[in-house]
Structure 1
């Protein structure tokens, strides 16, 4: 018979699995939807790139906070990072539902560098969803040793996704239609 903590963890795991599948699927589906008669939200890319940059900075601050024993600040910052990631996702989807995709115009080696960064960013942005949720659930359930183990994997991947989001924006921004 499962105790209450095990039951909560099982519910979290089911929810994490569902969310980790549904979010990428919804993004892919909505990416193909273009809203007619809606003005392009062309102002969003620098905003959501800035959100990625802020997320990267806050992730580092959160790690410093916990290493200094400030659990409360760490929790607040991590919740902010989750909120910023959700805001990014909403803005990203809204932009692509109202605007045509922009192609990278660089040629030669820089194009391959861009594609490598973009592809790893996209793949890891899908991978990070369950990692963040699992890491969060371990802290929520006060399984701090498991939380730390997952955080050691989650942190560098999330940081990479946040930083490469900014890099991708900076590399493609000259090619946006104005």
Structure 2
């Protein structure tokens, strides 16, 4: 009976997961095409890069918490990681809607673009994984939650760490 209720609860969220998984990347792409004639300070990129770095730390702490059977701590840390990722996205889009793009001028262009492209592609791909993993956790579908979390965790961690690496590589070229 409880398992059946969990499945029904999970199904209620599936449409929202699909909508958000499509809407978020499309909205970000569309907003990048809009330029607002207000220039946000250059100090915003280190703030959103720090948000990504903090998200990385929170993800690792959440992993450690669940391995130590501190489920409530794990849950709270994961909610915080999602909130940080949302804050990052808002700051990132706001900055790029108000500022010109910065070009990478360093010697490591192949490395930079490899990390950047993999970061962008995986940041889009990880959205449904994060949402599905979260829903399976909050609906108490623990076995399925564990199964997908094994994929979500390294993907999401890569996205947050690679975001910091991209920032560190391009930061000398901010004007």
RMSD: 1.0
CA distance in structure 2 between the aligned counterparts of 1:23 and 1:41, rounded to whole angstroms: 25
Kindly provide the CA deviation profile for residues 85-132 of structure 1, in whole angstroms up to 9, marking residues without a partner as x: 00000000000011000110013xx11000000000000000111000
Q: How does 1:89-168 map to 2 (within 5 A)?
A: 89-107=89-107, 110-168=108-166
Shift of 1:39: 2.7
Structure 2: where are the runs of 5+ without partners?
none
Shift of 1:41: 3.5
**In the alignment, what sits opposite 1:16?**
17
CA distance in structure 2 between the aligned counterparts of 1:41 and 1:132, rounded to whole angstroms: 31
Structure 1: where are the runs of 5+ without partners?
none
CA distance in structure 2 between the aligned counterparts of 1:39 and 1:53, rounded to whole angstroms: 24
Q: Is the contact made by 1:41 and 1:94 (CA closer than 8 Å) also made in structure 2?
A: no
Q: How does 1:8-87 map to 2 (within 5 A)?
A: 8-36=9-37, 38-87=38-87
CA distance in structure 2 between the aligned counterparts of 1:79 and 1:5, rounded to whole angstroms: 20
CA distance in structure 2 between the aligned counterparts of 1:59 and 1:120, rounded to whole angstroms: 19
Kindly provide the CA deviation profile for residues 24-45 of structure 1, in whole angstroms up to 9, marking residues without a partner as x: 0000000111102x23342210
Q: Is the contact made by 2:31 and 2:93 (CA closer than 8 Å) also made in structure 1?
A: yes
**TM-score scaled to structure 2, two decimals?**
0.95
Shift of 1:4: 4.3
CA distance in structure 2 between the aligned counterparts of 1:56 and 1:6, rounded to whole angstroms: 30
**TM-score scaled to structure 1, two decimals?**
0.94
1:40 is paired with a residue of what secondary structure?
coil
